Structure 1
Amino acid sequence: MIQAVCFDYYNTCTSAVRRGGGHRRTAEVLGVDPAEWLSVLDRTYDERARGGYGSHLAGLRRLCTELGVEPTTAQLREAAELRLATVQADAPLRPETLGVLDALRAAGVRIAIVSDCWFELPLVLPRTPLADVIDAAVYSCQVGHTKPHAAMYATACAQLDVDPARCLYVGDGGSRELTGAARFGLTAIQLRAPDLGAHLTFHAEPDWRGPMVTSLEAVPELVGARELVA
């Protein structure tokens, strides 16, 4: 019997992530080249997601230093706010996400968000409607490891007080999260939504051959909560 569901956040609870113009504006505020800014974000993703770049201002300063720029504190603060707004704009919630989570919660199923992320998501998620319907949030930058490390799944199961065998994991497959979840004992399900394919992701697992769904709306039925909330 399934007692809990862990959801990846980006590209799963959100629509396909695509970088918008906010990144260029952030680079301009910091006084760095926009193309170099995107390159350093890609290059440092893993370390940032493990929490290795510290707080948001310290992390932004370190990225700029690596690009040979020394921004002022005022620039860093403006850039941090832009970064938060940009990440939200790049990854809006799927229209069905809240209804799916409401249905699961109404059925007594515990819910966790398990995400690889930098400083943004711990600040953004509490401001979203999801904050009222989840039981736990596991952020890689706080755990000190990214998926597929077992610590991410162990932390989620501990916070949900659930045995891995009683837990589903739903994600698009970034960070090889599905393989990691299955290895830890969760039932892993890939979301292959129509908008996914050219989305921003890191360490995808295109070779996944396990269960899959094309919409989050299929998840409640998998655990017996058949009525979706409108």
Structure 2
Amino acid sequence: MIKAVLFDLYETLITEWNGNQKKAVYSTDELGLNPKVFKIEWDNRRELRMNGIFPDHQSVLIDILNSHGKYSDPDVIEKVHQKRIWAKTVPFQQINSEVIELLARLKEKGIKIGLISNCAPEEVFSWSTSKLADYFDEVVFSYEVKVAKPSPEIYQTACNKLGVTPEESIFLGDGGSNELVGAAEAGLKAYHATWFLPEDYSNNIQGFPKLCSPLDLLNQVELAHH
């Protein structure tokens, strides 16, 4: 009996991409670091950003500049911060109608809806004002709970918040961060959301049922109900 569906956020409910182009691109040139160097430093801090060791985006920028012996001008930091907030808001402004329909229909069935997102604060700045937020019973952001997918702990935390067991729950995600394996190991039924993914990327992940459109999940919920 399925009582809850837990969703990933980026590339499952919303997408940052339009074909092979990002919808919103911003530069960090004001920081005075070579963009390639910045990207390496940024990626190196991914885990610490996701699990809340860095409290916010600004502290990451300051740490990167400090590691290169550069002064972090507060005005420059704030300018880059606001650009990132803007870039992360854009995907929330264009939500796929099938995603909304899926959430509405799950609600009608009395199924609880939860979110598990590996994220830093600025990446979900626009969550609470988005169309999505109203449908969700519980939200688990990795930076808030200080643990990220694929750790079984984050899935258990979400199930506890919803008052369900992992065995009564479905997890749906695009497969990033090894999240499908983590969900399955935590005891949830994991499904691969492929509707926003390029085919070659989708094919890299095997071993989980692939759903080509959001509404395909409804059939799985029905099957699991019986």
Same fold (TM over 0.5): yes
- 1:128-186 CA-partner distances (Å, limit 9, x unpaired): 11111111111111121211101110111011111111110001111111111011110
- The alpha-carbon distance between structure 1 residues 106 and 198, as it changes in their structure 2 partners (threshold 3 A), is same
Q: Structure 2: which amino acid aligns with 1:55?
A: D
* C-alpha contact 2:15 2:196 (8 A) present in aligned 1: no
Query: Residue 25 of structure 2 is aligned with which of 14, 22, 25?
Result: 22
Determine the C-alpha separation between the residues in 1 that align with 2:101 and 2:68: 43
- The alpha-carbon distance between structure 1 residues 198 and 31, as it changes in their structure 2 partners (threshold 3 A), is farther
- 1:79-126 CA-partner distances (Å, limit 9, x unpaired): 221111112336753342222111111211111111111122342211
Matches within 5 A, 1:76-225: 76-89=77-90, 92-193=94-195, 195-197=197-199, 206-224=204-222
User: Unaligned regions of 5+ residues in structure 2, if any?
Assistant: none
Q: What is the SS of the residue equivalent to 2:222?
A: coil
Determine the C-alpha separation between the residues in 2 that align with 1:198 and 1:72: 42
- The alpha-carbon distance between structure 1 residues 196 and 136, as it changes in their structure 2 partners (threshold 3 A), is farther
Determine the C-alpha separation between the residues in 2 that align with 1:153 and 1:80: 30
* C-alpha contact 1:191 1:212 (8 A) present in aligned 2: yes
Match of 2:73 in 1: 72
Q: Structure 2: which amino acid aligns with 1:40?
A: E
Determine the C-alpha separation between the residues in 1 that align with 2:99 and 2:174: 14
Determine the C-alpha separation between the residues in 1 that align with 2:86 and 2:16: 17
TM-superposed CA distance for 1:68, in Å, is: 3.7
Q: Percent identity?
A: 26
- Number of residue-to-residue matches in the alignment: 219
TM-superposed CA distance for 1:16, in Å, is: 5.5
* C-alpha contact 2:11 2:197 (8 A) present in aligned 1: no
* C-alpha contact 2:11 2:196 (8 A) present in aligned 1: no
The runs of at least 4 consecutive aligned structure 1 residues that moved more than 6 Å come to none
Determine the C-alpha separation between the residues in 1 that align with 2:203 and 2:58: 32
Determine the C-alpha separation between the residues in 1 that align with 2:4 and 2:69: 47
Structure 1 residues 212-221 or 179-188, which shifts more?
Answer: 212-221
The yes-or-no answer on 1:2 pairing with 2:5 is no
* C-alpha contact 1:116 1:146 (8 A) present in aligned 2: yes
Determine the C-alpha separation between the residues in 1 that align with 2:180 and 2:79: 36
* C-alpha contact 1:174 1:205 (8 A) present in aligned 2: no
Determine the C-alpha separation between the residues in 2 that align with 1:114 and 1:123: 15
TM-superposed CA distance for 1:188, in Å, is: 0.4
Determine the C-alpha separation between the residues in 2 that align with 1:10 and 1:184: 21
Match of 1:228 in 2: none
Q: Structure 2: which amino acid aligns with 1:133?
A: Y
TM-score by length of 1: 0.84
What's the RMSD between the two structures over aligned residues? Answer: 2.5
* C-alpha contact 1:50 1:140 (8 A) present in aligned 2: yes
- The alpha-carbon distance between structure 1 residues 77 and 205, as it changes in their structure 2 partners (threshold 3 A), is farther
